Amino acid sequence: MDHRSKGTAALKVGVFYDGSYFTHVSNYYNYVHPHRRRLHIGGVHDFIKHTLAEREGTRPSLCHIIDAHFFRGRFSARDANEKPNQLYYDRVFDDVLMYNGVQTHYLPVKDLLGRKREKGIDVLMALETYELCMLKRFDVAVLIASDGDHVPLVRKLHALGCKTMLMGWDFEFTDEQGEQQTTRTSTDLWNEVSYPLPMHDLIEEGLKEDDEVVRDMFVMRDPSRDYEGEGERPAAALVDDERHRSTVMSLMNGYGFIRYPDNNLFFRHDDLEGLAFEDLTVNDEVEFNVAVNHRGQRVAKRITRPA
């Protein structure tokens, strides 16, 4: 007789984050998706418990996340110091992970032909995940990842008798250069895991139905929170009173970019004055002030049609 009778089965769960992928998805929801919220680590874990309870025929309270691990490349202190407030935000995010019981695993970001790249993170994630599953005998390993390189790991976990759940997102958006960017989960990885979750669809349905578990996957807006994306935007400071004129470069779901020398300027729908976002089109001419936001980046404010 199976020791896991329905309704009384306790599950040992391990959660493993591809950190760059999770950050990319969280940025999408914060900057591109109409919901305008970052993913909340605690809420993600609660979603995992409820989903596994449904799939495994038990209760969420009996789905115990024994371990959670976050893997990512990390800039050196010198490189991070060159970006406004980067060291501070790195530390704050470490606090977020720590308070949610997530252990961090970092490798140095390498400079390859003038470009900063992660090296070895997928291998480190696979080795650590396999070793932990072998030692702690998780019933389910949850992967927040998209790369097909994780397929051998999934097969090894299944050989240990550990089921796998994949949280994968598929979405498209237009970047600051006006180019279409696409995020897709590997079909091979999708077909290999025990429980593949199309998170983009599940979240859309949950938000539409005001599902509490899905709603709680996102951080609440709280002006007292100053972590990037976890509160309302602090006011941007105008560089000067000069009005500039240029054209709209790209538009996407309530935000866009204006052409500007050296670095195109980001703006949101609420930066428009006397002008509806829906009335804007690419290549429209606009007037604006240049401001600096709380991250030290130049943005466009007080945007109007030319007089």
**Cβ atoms within 10 Å of 268's Cβ, excluding its own:** 17
Q: Give the model's pLDDT for residue 144.
A: 98
Do 173 and 69 belong together in one domain?
Answer: yes
Do 111 and 211 belong together in one domain?
Answer: yes
Do 206 and 284 belong together in one domain?
Answer: no
What stretches in the chain show pLDDT beneath 70? 1-8, 84, 112-114, 116, 175-178, 221-235, 294-295
Q: Give the model's pLDDT for residue 200.
A: 96
- Quick check: is 220 in a domain? no
Q: How many CA atoms does the CB half-sphere of 39 hold within 13 Å?
A: 24
Q: Give the model's pLDDT for residue 189.
A: 97
Q: Give the model's pLDDT for residue 32.
A: 85
Do 151 and 292 belong together in one domain?
Answer: no
**Residue 126, SS3?**
helix
- Quick check: is 179 in a domain? yes
Place of tokens 């309870």: 53
Do 17 and 158 belong together in one domain?
Answer: yes
Are 152 and 82 contacting, i.e. CB atoms less than 8 angstroms apart? no
Q: Give the model's pLDDT for residue 234.
A: 59
> Which domain does 125 fall in, by range?
11-215
Q: Give the model's pLDDT for residue 223.
A: 37
Do 206 and 248 belong together in one domain?
Answer: no
Q: Give the model's pLDDT for residue 53.
A: 95
- Quick check: is 166 in a domain? yes
Q: Give the model's pLDDT for residue 230.
A: 38
- Cα–Cα distance for residue pair 250/211, rounded to 1 Å: 33
Q: Give the model's pLDDT for residue 1.
A: 36
Do 97 and 196 belong together in one domain?
Answer: yes
Residue count (the chain): 307
Asked which of 197, 215, 233 is the last residue of a domain, the reply is: 215
Do 146 and 202 belong together in one domain?
Answer: yes
pLDDT tens for 201-213 read 999 999 999 999 9
Do 62 and 199 belong together in one domain?
Answer: yes
**Residue 58, SS3?**
coil
Q: Give the model's pLDDT for residue 175.
A: 66
- Cα–Cα distance for residue pair 52/106, rounded to 1 Å: 28
CATH number (domain holding residue 25): 3.40.50.1010
Beta-carbon contacts of 141 under 8 Å, excluding residues fewer than 6 positions away, are 13, 14, 15, 16, 129, 133, 157, 162, 163, 164, 165
- Cα–Cα distance for residue pair 39/217, rounded to 1 Å: 6
Q: Give the model's pLDDT for residue 15.
A: 98
- Cα–Cα distance for residue pair 280/300, rounded to 1 Å: 15
Q: Are strands 140-144 and 163-168 parallel, antiparallel or unpaired?
A: parallel
- Quick check: is 294 in a domain? yes
**Cβ atoms within 10 Å of 300's Cβ, excluding its own:** 26
Strand extents, DSSP E, the chain: 11-18, 63-74, 103-108, 110-112, 115-117, 140-144, 163-168, 171-174, 180-183, 195-198, 237-238, 244-252, 255-258, 265-268, 285-292, 298-304
**Count: domains in the chain:** 2
Q: Give the model's pLDDT for residue 273.
A: 92
Q: Give the model's pLDDT for residue 226.
A: 37
CA atoms 26, 215, 142, 151: torsion sign: negative
Q: Give the model's pLDDT for residue 91.
A: 86
289 bridge partner residues? 301
Beta-carbon contacts of 106 under 8 Å, excluding residues fewer than 6 positions away, are 71, 72, 73, 74
Do 83 and 207 belong together in one domain?
Answer: yes
